[in-house]
Amino acid sequence: MINSMTSSSHNSLNFRYGKIYIDIKSINSRYLDIHINIPEEINHLETKIHKIINKNILRGRIYLKIEIIYYDDYTFNNINVEKIHDLSKKINLIKSIIPNTQYPDFLKIIDFCQKNHKNSNNIELDSICENLLNNSIEDLKNGKSKEGKILSEILIKQSEEFEIILEKISNLMLESYNIYQTNIFNKLNENIKKLTNLTKNHINENELKERVINEIYLYLIKTDIHEEISRLKIHILSIRNILKNKDIKNLELRKSPGKQLDFLIQELQREINTMMAKSFSIDIVNLSLKLKLLIEQMREQIQNLE
């Protein structure tokens, strides 16, 4: 399954004392990078949240925010009065020692005096948060899957376009070699007598011709791009097979195809650069530039894959 690394999920749920909101956002990253922002009363769930995310998501930068909004009647009906009296005595004691001490904010006092009560409801709250988190991650995964399918279709079309251009280069290569050989041998035949006359005391006509032909073949071998074209065909076929989930026996590759696709794109780029450096045909160079542009477009899409 090809998944995108970018997606988001927004869920909320009412419970006895208020409402819980969970927002998850996933963006591109080479590795799994998790950022969690949760209320103090569920801080003890952070390790469990990390484990849940690790189990369900392979790569990407994950931003998770959980917010708990308590109902007003819960906020004011569950204040620990004794704790307020005790806090007031302590504040007055501090002011007697340090007169300029500011009184704490009213809402902070309420929150401080409610902590014990909130903690008593942690078991129920933990269960609600975990269930809502699992639902949110499922929504996130569904979004990643849908976008991954769209990206796969785009990449498959680009790979097919790549093969069409590569086939043109392959045909042009044979044609260019034939034209080059014909022209060089015609030129050789025209000048062989001049060369023979210049070197008549040192080398005969047949030996000179043989040496020049050997140099020509050595040059043709250095400029031969058959090997690069063959490797490009293999790499682009591998990319399409991964996108279509064909012939993928490696378990890790099945889990995280984005890394393998990124590696294959680098190999395509390397082979194209070699082919351009070796080619003597301006037409092949121009087509290779088109392939480079296409590779960059594919790379941009692949960077979004998990």
- For the chain, give every domain's residue range: 76-114, 149-302
| Cα 280 to Cα 191: distance, rounded to the nearest angstrom | 23
**How would you write the pLDDT of the chain (306 residues) with one tens digit per residue?**
788 999 999 999 988 778 899 999 999 988 899 999 998 888 889 999 999 999 999 889 999 999 988 776 555 555 666 777 777 777 778 777 777 777 666 556 666 665 554 444 567 788 889 999 999 999 999 999 999 999 999 999 999 999 999 999 988 887 776 777 677 666 766 666 665 565 555 556 666 667 667 766 666 677 778 888 999 999 999 999 998 876 555 545 556 788 889 999 999 999 999 888 888 788 888 999 999 999 999 999 998 888
Indicate if the alpha-carbon torsion angle 105, 111, 114, 116 is positive or negative: negative
Residues 244 and 223: their CA atoms lie apart, in Å, by 35
DSSP 8-state code for residue 4: B
pTM for the model: 0.69
3-state SS class at 105:
coil
Q: What are phi and psi of 15, to 5 degrees?
A: -140, -175
CA angle 298, 301, 134 (to 5 degrees): 150
Looking at residue 224, the DSSP 8-state letter turns out to be -
Residues, the chain: 306
Contacts of 164 (CB under 8 A, 6+ apart): none
